């Protein structure tokens, strides 16, 4: 049950999928369904050691294979596929690096500021990604009354979700670093939503968690 002051006892655990070929090269990977590299699979297996004694009330996972495989190797295979957790749709910038986009438009490009252009898909605005993030938070909020929730997803979308959880606007996500294979925890202090931990690698987690 929720505490008398209205604070739920559970936390939201965020897991960015392990390394893929494009996350390693810096190519924007929205709708392209790439597998994990061997290094990404190993990082996910290391998460299993960290989480083996931890119980989650609910586990939601992006439909893309890199997120699903990370959850499976992390020992959380009993999950629900949640399309709202998919990565930002980069539209015409799918598969393109920040350096290449900046050269195309003639100035340094930042997705949180400049957005994307249409391509094979229409792409998404930051507000659309933020709206999806809020829907995910609303969906798992009742579960937090009973314990923790795990979300497996992607770098940009989870950064936007973090900013949305903190109620400070999706563009704050540009000020967060979220590496492949990392774990973060969204928590609370009394009635204030807080970041409990952020962007910790499996190695660091095994030392500190």
Please give the structure tokens belonging to residue 74.
Answer: 């992390």
Q: What is residue 99's three-state secondary structure?
A: helix
- Going from the C-alpha of 147 to that of each of 42, 58, 88, the distances in angstroms are 28, 9, 28
- The single residue of 17, 28, 156, 188 carrying the catalytic annotation is 17
DSSP letter, residue 91: B
94 included as an active-site residue: no
CA separation for the pair 64, 46 (Å, rounded): 21
Active-site residue flag, 110: no
Does residue 166 contact residue 172 with C-beta atoms inside 8 Å?
yes
The arrangement of strands across the sheet holding 58-61 comes to 80-81, 58-61, 149-153, 12-16, 183-189, 192-200
Give the phi and the psi of residue 166 in degrees, each rounded to 5. -75, -5
Q: Check 19, 82, 87, 94 and give the catalytic one.
A: 87
What residues are annotated to the active site?
17, 87
């Amino acid at each position: 049950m929720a505490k008398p002051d209205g604070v739920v006892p559970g936390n939201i655990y965020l897991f960015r999928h392990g390394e893929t070929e494009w996350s390693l090269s810096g190519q924007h990977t929205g709708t392209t369904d790439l597998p994990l590299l061997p290094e990404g699979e190993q990082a996910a297996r290391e998460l299993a050691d960290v989480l083996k004694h931890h119980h989650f009330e609910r586990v939601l996972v992006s439909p893309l294979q890199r997120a699903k495989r990370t959850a499976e190797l992390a020992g959380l295979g009993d999950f629900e596929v949640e399309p709202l957790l998919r990565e930002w749709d980069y539209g015409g910038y799918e598969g393109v690096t920040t350096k290449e986009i900046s050269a195309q438009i003639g100035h340094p490009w930042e997705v949180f500021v400049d957005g994307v252009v249409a391509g094979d898909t229409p792409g998404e605005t930051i507000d659309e990604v933020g709206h999806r993030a809020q829907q995910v938070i609303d969906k798992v909020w009742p579960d937090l009354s009973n314990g923790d929730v795990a979300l497996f997803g992607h770098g940009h979308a989870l950064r936007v979700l973090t900013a949305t959880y903190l109620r400070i606007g999706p563009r704050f996500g540009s000020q967060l670093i979220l590496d492949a294979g990392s774990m973060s925890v969204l928590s609370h202090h009394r009635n204030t939503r807080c970041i409990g931990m952020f962007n910790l690698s499996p190695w660091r987690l095994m030392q500190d968690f």
